[in-house]
């Protein structure tokens, strides 16, 4: 796996808005990530890992954003 992004340890989850925000580095540039996750019941380490995987998958199919912001809707995996 060729990791395109390095995630910073600053993930926070707003339970009222059901949104997660965190940052990462792509080619030395800081990007802000916002994930809307209305179906999350509990914010666990598994959910954090799912968020990071979703961002990595998105980057496999898309160019890094020029505005340094990635906004996604959480798609819960059925593993």
Q: Per-residue pLDDT for 78 more than 50?
A: no
For residue 21, the enclosing domain spans 6-73
For residue 33, is it within any domain?
Answer: yes
C-alpha angle 35-53-47 in degrees, rounded to nearest 5: 60
For residue 1, is it within any domain?
Answer: no
Average pLDDT over residues 11-22: 94
CATH of residue 16: 3.30.160.140
For residue 78, is it within any domain?
Answer: no
For residue 79, is it within any domain?
Answer: no
When pLDDT is cut at 50, 70 and 90, the band that residue 68 belongs to is very high
Domain count along the chain = 1
Average pLDDT over residues 22-47: 93
């Amino acid at each position: 796996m060729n990791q395109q992004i390095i995630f910073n340890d600053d993930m926070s989850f707003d339970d009222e808005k059901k949104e997660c925000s965190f940052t990462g580095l792509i080619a030395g540039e800081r990007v802000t990530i916002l994930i809307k996750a209305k179906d999350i019941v509990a914010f666990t380490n598994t959910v954090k890992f799912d968020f990071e995987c979703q961002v990595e998958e998105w980057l496999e199919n898309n160019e890094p954003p020029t505005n340094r912001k990635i906004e996604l809707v959480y798609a819960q995996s059925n593993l």
